[in-house]
Structures are given as C-alpha cells and as structure tokens.
Amino acid sequence: MEKRNNWLLSISIFLFVALMLSVVQTLNTARPLLLLERFVKHGGWVEVLVIALYAAFLGYKMTDPACVPKFRKLSWIVFSIVFFSQFILGVTVDTIFLMTGKLHLPIPMMVLAGPIYRGQLSIMPILFLSTIILTGPAWCSHYCYFGAIDSWVSGRRKKKFFIKNGSAFKWTTFIVVIFFAWFFRMVGVGHFITTLLAILFGLLGVGVIFFLSNRYGTMIHCTYYCPLGSLVNLIKWINPFRLTIVDSCTLCMRCTSICKYDALKLENLKSRNPGISCTLCGDCIHSCHHQSLRYKLFSLSSNTSRSIYLFLTISLHAIFLAIARI
C-alpha cells in the first residue's frame, strides 16, 4: 500500500508539472520562459521532461516522512543554486539568462519593499502570492532562494536554545521596511540610494545567516530578520492547510530539537498550537513516536491532507525551478 501511494503521488506530480510547463512552453512570447528554449529551438520540451521527472522523483521520496528533511533541504538548495547561477550568468555573461533582460536585486525583502516603492507588481510578487494562496507558508521552506542557504547553514549545528525577544525584533524590522519603502516613494528618493540600502540590508542578512544562524542552529534570518518571512506569517492563514498537535503528545520535545523555525516550543506543545513561524515544512513529523504531529486540510484524513500538500508544494517547487528568474 505504501509503495502504491508513493507511485500514485509521483505519477500525479509528473503529469501535473508536465502539463503546466507544456502550457508555458507553448506561450508565444518574445523571450521564452523556459531557459533551454532560448538556446535551442524546441529545447524547452526537453526541459519540461527533465523538470517533470525531477519533481516525480521528489514526490516518490518525500511520501516517506523520514525522507522529508533530507530531500526537502536538498531540493531547496538545488533551487537556490539554480536561481543564483542564472543571476550570476545574467550579470557576467549574457542577459539571456535573466527573466526580462532587466536586472532586479535577488534579495527577499525586495519582493515586499519593491512593489511598495515602485507602486506596481512584478513577476516575483505574483509568484510569491500564488504560493501563499496554494501552499500557505511553504515559501519559507521550499521556494525562497535565501532560505535554502539559511537552512543549510543552521542545519550544520545542533539547536542550542530559543532566541529571546526575537518576535519584537521580527515585527520591528517588518514595520520599518514597509514604512521606509513607502516614505522613499513619497519623498522621491532615487533608485541609486534605495538600491544601496537594499544591498546593505541583504548583506546584513547574509551576516545573520553565517554568524547567528550558524551559531545557534536556528534559521534566525528567515524566522526573525526577513520581513518577507514575517509577511508570510501574517497572511498564510488564507490557506487552509494546518499542522496540528493532537492529544497523544507527551511533551517529550523531540520535535522541538528538529524545528529550525522556533515553532514548537514547550508552550506551543502544551497549547496544541504550533507557533506563528511554522512553515509546514514537515521535518518534525517523523520525529514524533506517537504520531502527534499531523497535517490537516478541512475534514480530510491526515495522510490525505499531507499527500495533497506534498503534491502542491513539490509541483510548485519544480515549476518555479523552471521559470523563476530575476
């Protein structure tokens, strides 16, 4: 039965990703969205097949909760490597590697601050909002190009302790970024100054990752520094997926040491509610010997809810891998 479910999810993901990317491939645009099509005529169809097979492989592996931490993080770092490689090649080699030929800063904060400052949406905010609608907070555990680095760095150390006053800093940063993006637009601060400030913010974020996240074994950048992550925490509730803690929980706190988002503190386990920073990553599921941590979607069973969530998150991950560029 388990292998049957593995194959069913895998095949479903393959067919869906192949269908969606086939639609993208057939779009008659001046700059093809699939990168291989820009170099080789009909090469986009090869990319469709490769990406769909890759997604099917992830679906097969991640059906097993014990495999989720490994393959989620591996696929996430692959996403980040591809994203930044295209960015570097677009800057140093040829603009054909860029989405539109115009350069945008690859800093998560800009997905939030950029539209406020410019007064208009672009492709990245649209992709971001689509992930919230379909998969809730999965942006912060599957799709963010900075988050993959934070996950990798923090994962090299055992979790030491929870960050005190982290929430206060988190929401202060969120409000300050929104205010200054709006203020700079109102007073007409030029692109040169705002770009320098955005770069400085991004470099500080890199410092947070390699100094604090690495030191404490917690994803401090994503959980407490990144304003886009804070926005995810606020609006993820429009999506119906939830992680629930049922009464079989014995407060053993094995899951607490697994969670890199500080969402499973003792008070969360006692109240049976994961913290606001929970991203539904699923790394904690296999750690619970009492099966007290479960996905929930409406009145569906936990296994069905989890399968649907994996289908959506893995499919979007693969589709974005093919089309999400600067």
Q: Quick: pLDDT tens for 136-158.
A: 999 999 999 899 999 999 987 77
Q: What is the mean pLDDT of the chain?
A: 91
Strand partners, 296: 242
Based on its alpha-carbon atoms, the radius of gyration of the chain, rounded to whole angstroms, reads 20
Cα–Cα dist 68/56, whole Å: 14
pLDDT at 28: 73
- The confidence band for 125, taking pLDDT boundaries of 50, 70 and 90, is confident
Tell me the C-alpha distance between 221 and 227, whole Å: 10
Please report, to the nearest 10 degrees, the dihedral formed by the alpha carbons of residues 268, 273, 278, 283 taken in order. 80
Q: Which pLDDT score, from 0 to 100, does residue 158 have? A: 76
What single letter denotes the amino acid at residue 31?
R
Are 34 and 44 spatial neighbours (Cβ–Cβ below 8 Å)?
Answer: yes
φ/ψ region of 274 (left if φ > 0, alpha if ψ in -120 to 50, else beta) reads: beta
Q: HSE, CB side, 13 Å, CA atoms: give it for residue 314.
A: 33
**Residue 96 pLDDT:** 84
Of the candidates 325, 314, 316, 318, which has an alpha carbon nearest to the alpha carbon of residue 61?
314
Amino acid 124: pLDDT: 78
Assign 326 a pLDDT band (cuts: 50, 70, 90).
low
Residue 159 has pLDDT above 90, yes or no: no
- Name the pLDDT band for 121 (thresholds 50, 70, 90): confident
CA separation for the pair 83, 317 (Å, rounded): 12
To 10 degrees, the CA torsion angle through 204, 263, 297, 309? 50
Task: Report how far Cα 224 is from the mean position of its chain's Cα atoms.
Answer: 15
Q: For residue 92, what are the CA distances in angstroms to 56, 195, 203, 322, 324?
A: 33, 19, 20, 21, 19
Q: Is the pTM of this model over 0.75?
A: yes
pLDDT at 164: 72
pLDDT band at 90 (very low <50, low <70, confident <90, very high): confident
Q: Please name the helix (run of DSSP H) or strand (run of DSSP E) that holds residue 245, with its range, or none.
A: strand 242-245
Q: How far apart are CA 321 and CA 104, in angstroms?
A: 18
Interaxial angle between packed helices 191-207 and 166-187, expressed in degrees from 0 to 180 and rounded to the nearest 10: 170
Query: For residue 161, what pLDDT is reported?
Result: 61
Domain boundaries, given as residue ranges, for the chain: 1-98+300-326, 104-239, 242-296
Asked if residues 238 and 132 have their Cβ atoms less than 8 Å apart, the reply is: yes
Kindly report, residue by residue over 219-270, the tens digit of the pLDDT: 999 999 999 999 999 999 999 999 999 999 999 999 998 999 999 999 999 9
Quote the pLDDT of residue 120.
84
In which residue are the tokens 């409000």 written? Answer: 175
Q: 33 phi and psi, to 5 degrees?
A: -75, -30
Residue 293: phi and psi, rounded to 5, are -105, 120
- Identify the pLDDT of residue 24: 93
Tens-digit pLDDT profile for residues 32-43: 889 999 999 999
Tell me: domain 242-296, CATH 3.30.70.20, correct?
yes
